[in-house]
């Protein structure tokens, strides 16, 4: 870190006589030389759902196009197979998506094809097969139902106030609430979340050489609330569904993604012990150990719409310090 701070002082001096954009590029060429940057997305839409807007998960097609052009210019983009086979150049980058929104197949893939950029989407097969999206259900309840928030807080007041409320929603608590209210929220939650891809769309895209599928659990549960058996069961059930597609790779991203808040490090180790080749979080950190089995990702969204804003987000996360999970 001391060397990086010294380098930053040099950048400040350099910036006094050189345009800021060139400073960013100069810094990136030095600081990111032997690193892997993994970018992650969810939704690419000009008309995002309330869920995507609320949690800053959307990138408009125009901004996504701009970001892909930027990443292609500034980084050496690799495929999931390159990562698995350790074919990683300097300033490597990987493009990933989570969940399985329809917009990836209809909006993102054409833009990725335009720049010949490979990507992997980590899928929850339960909502793709027609079930309610668990992350959508629990966030909908916490955002829209005051009686649910009161019900949940009443169950464990001291514990729940320490973290985001929906991350405390285990299936037992939610089922008890729904049984009591006798509500069928499938239609309301589906409208709130937006459209998921269909199995037909998965089959059609699976033959695209730039498209890869990964595992995100069968249902988008909070891993921290799952036992080891439940975690492996959800992973295995999802894997069985995804093995139908030749472009599936045994790579996994944690739902919700934040180390310590949403999952334990031992859960990553457990998955690796059971055959997962690469495990991803969404800590935002840079990957200095490019061959590691556990990798960090950085989220980009609609607000990162200039080169300066993208670089600032990258460097901000870099100098926050590396958090191991």
The string of DSSP codes covering 197-255 is PPHHHHHHHTT-TTEEEEE--SS---GGGS-HHHHHHHHHHHHHHHTTSTTEEEEEE-S
- Per-residue pLDDT at 28 exceeds 90: no
**What pLDDT does 52 receive?**
97
Instruction: Indicate the average pLDDT of the chain.
Output: 89
135 within 8 A of 188, measured Cβ to Cβ: no
**Selection from 295, 293, 313, 294 nearest residue 303 by Cα:** 313
Distance CA 181, CA 272 (A): 40
Q: In this prediction, what percent of the chain has a pLDDT beyond 70? A: 89
Give the dihedral of Cα atoms 185, 188, 194, 197; nearest 10 deg.
40
250 within 8 A of 282, measured Cβ to Cβ: no
**What pLDDT does 158 receive?**
46
- Per-residue pLDDT at 250 exceeds 50: yes
**What pLDDT does 22 receive?**
72
**What pLDDT does 162 receive?**
47
* pLDDT-based confidence at residue 30 (cuts at 50, 70, 90): confident
Instruction: List phi, psi (to 5°) of 42.
Output: -125, -60
- Per-residue pLDDT at 17 exceeds 80: no
Residues 151-161 pLDDT 10s: 887 775 445 54
**What pLDDT does 323 receive?**
42
Tokens of 242: 């995804």
Residues 96-124 pLDDT 10s: 999 999 999 999 999 999 999 999 999 99
| 226-260 burial code (b ≥16 CB/10 A, e <16) | beeeebbebbeebbebbeebebbbbbbbbbbbbbe
**What pLDDT does 11 receive?**
47
- Per-residue pLDDT at 29 exceeds 90: no
Q: What is the pTM of this model?
A: 0.90
**What pLDDT does 14 receive?**
44
- Residues with Cβ within 8 Å of 189's Cβ and at least 6 positions away in sequence, in order, are 132, 133, 136, 137, 140
Over residues 290-305, mean pLDDT = 94
- Per-residue pLDDT at 19 exceeds 90: no
**What pLDDT does 20 receive?**
67
Over residues 177-195, mean pLDDT = 92
Extended strands (E) in 5-50: 36-41, 43-44
């Amino acid at each position: 870190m001391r060397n990086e701070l010294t380098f930053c002082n040099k950048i400040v001096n350099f910036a006094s006589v050189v345009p800021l954009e060139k400073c960013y590029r100069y810094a990136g060429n030095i600081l990111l030389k032997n690193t892997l940057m993994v970018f992650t997305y969810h939704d690419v839409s000009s008309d995002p759902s309330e869920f995507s807007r609320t949690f800053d998960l959307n990138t408009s097609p125009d901004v996504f196009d701009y970001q892909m052009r930027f990443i292609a210019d500034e980084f050496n983009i690799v495929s999931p197979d390159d990562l698995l086979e350790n074919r990683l150049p300097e300033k490597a980058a990987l493009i990933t998506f989570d969940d399985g929104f329809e917009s990836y197949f209809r909006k993102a893939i054409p833009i990725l094809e335009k720049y010949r950029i490979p990507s992997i989407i980590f899928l929850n097969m339960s909502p793709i097969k027609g079930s309610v999206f668990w992350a959508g259900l629990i966030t909908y309840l916490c955002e829209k139902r005051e009686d649910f928030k009161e019900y949940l807080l009443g169950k464990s007041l001291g514990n729940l106030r320490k973290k985001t409320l929906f991350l405390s929603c285990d299936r037992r608590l939610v089922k008890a609430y729904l049984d009591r209210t006798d509500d069928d929220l499938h239609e309301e939650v589906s409208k709130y979340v937006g459209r998921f891809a269909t199995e037909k769309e998965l089959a059609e895209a699976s033959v695209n050489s730039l498209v890869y599928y990964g595992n995100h659990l069968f249902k988008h549960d909070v891993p921290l609330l799952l036992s080891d058996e439940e975690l492996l069961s959800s992973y295995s059930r999802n894997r069985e569904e995804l093995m139908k597609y030749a472009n599936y790779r045994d790579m996994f991203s944690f739902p919700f993604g934040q180390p310590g808040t949403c999952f334990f490090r031992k859960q990553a180790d457990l998955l690796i012990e059971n055959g997962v080749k690469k495990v991803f979080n969404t800590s935002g950190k840079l990957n200095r150990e490019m061959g590691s089995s556990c990798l960090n990702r950085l989220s980009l969204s609609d607000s990162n719409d200039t080169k300066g804003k993208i670089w600032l987000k990258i460097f901000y996360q870099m100098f926050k310090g590396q958090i191991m999970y």
